[in-house]
Amino acid sequence: MQTKNKKTNKKKRIPTTVVASLASLSLIIGGFFLFNNYAHSKKIKAYDYMANVFYLESIKENKEVKKENTSDNVESNEEVQEEEKPTVQVDNPVNYIGYLEIPKINLNKGFFDVNDSNNNVEKNIYVSPTSSYPNVKNGNLIIAGHSGTGWKAFFNNLYRLNKDDYVFVTYGSKKYSYKIDRIYKQNKTGKIAIYRDYEKTTLTLVTCTNNDSETQTIYIAYLVLEQDI
């Protein structure tokens, strides 16, 4: 009876070569996905860098065009009527309307208008439809983003931020400087409660809590400086 069991056990054993092959295949597949995520992440960063360059250049060109048009208007009315210069419009090549910059975590990410189809947390950082843009006094710009792993985890390092750290938003032709005033957690319910001073212009950042699948973290920052670019 024992001899029969031994034979049965022998038949059920998987050859070591098969085990080694499966392990190698798993490593190759895992390595492929890791490399793919890494490559995609690098591609996004390079794309955002170039887009930011174009965005800032377009602002400069628009300012130069405004100056030219202003100087033309100084001419006599007769000359203006004889030869009116058309207004030059410089398009933003990627449709970003602004940039979120956090030097402490090496983040510089463009964001779309709330009505743009790319304003989606699965594609980019996400501007909440209930937001106000930075030029609205006492308004609140609310931006959410994924954390964790993968190319779309743009807010993965937000957990490194502390009170009094600076966050910058470029919007229009101005740069807005915010200082973090409060950081708190909430359970994931599909909604967030924002506790802020309604007498201050606010930036709210939202992401999943680091190493905690049950909660999300909210960062409240207030405007401290507004500068022309």
Q: Per-domain residue ranges for the chain?
A: 1-88, 95-229
3-state SS string for the chain: CHHHHHHHHHHHCCCHHHHHHHHHHHHHHHHHHHHHHHHHHHHHHHHHHHHHHHHHHHHHHHHHHHHHHHHHHCCCHHHHHHCCCCCCCCCCCCCCCEEEEEHHHCEEEEECCCCCCCCCCCCCCEECCCCCCCCCCCCEEEEECCCCCCCCCCCCCHHHCCCCCEEEEEECCEEEEEEEEEEEEEECCCCCCCCCCCCCCEEEEEEECCCCCCEEEEEEEEEEEEEEC
Q: Per CATH, the architecture of 95-229 is what? A: Beta Barrel (2.40)
pTM: 0.66
Q: What is the mean pLDDT of residues 119-135?
A: 96
Residue 160 has pLDDT above 80, yes or no: yes
Residue 182 has pLDDT above 90, yes or no: yes
What confidence score (pLDDT) does residue 90 get?
38
What confidence score (pLDDT) does residue 84 get?
39
What confidence score (pLDDT) does residue 151 get?
84
What confidence score (pLDDT) does residue 19 get?
56
Residue 95 has pLDDT above 60, yes or no: yes
Identify which has the larger pLDDT, 210 or 49: 210
Residue 25 has pLDDT above 70, yes or no: no
Choice among 4-13, 75-84, 100-109 with the minimum mean pLDDT: 75-84
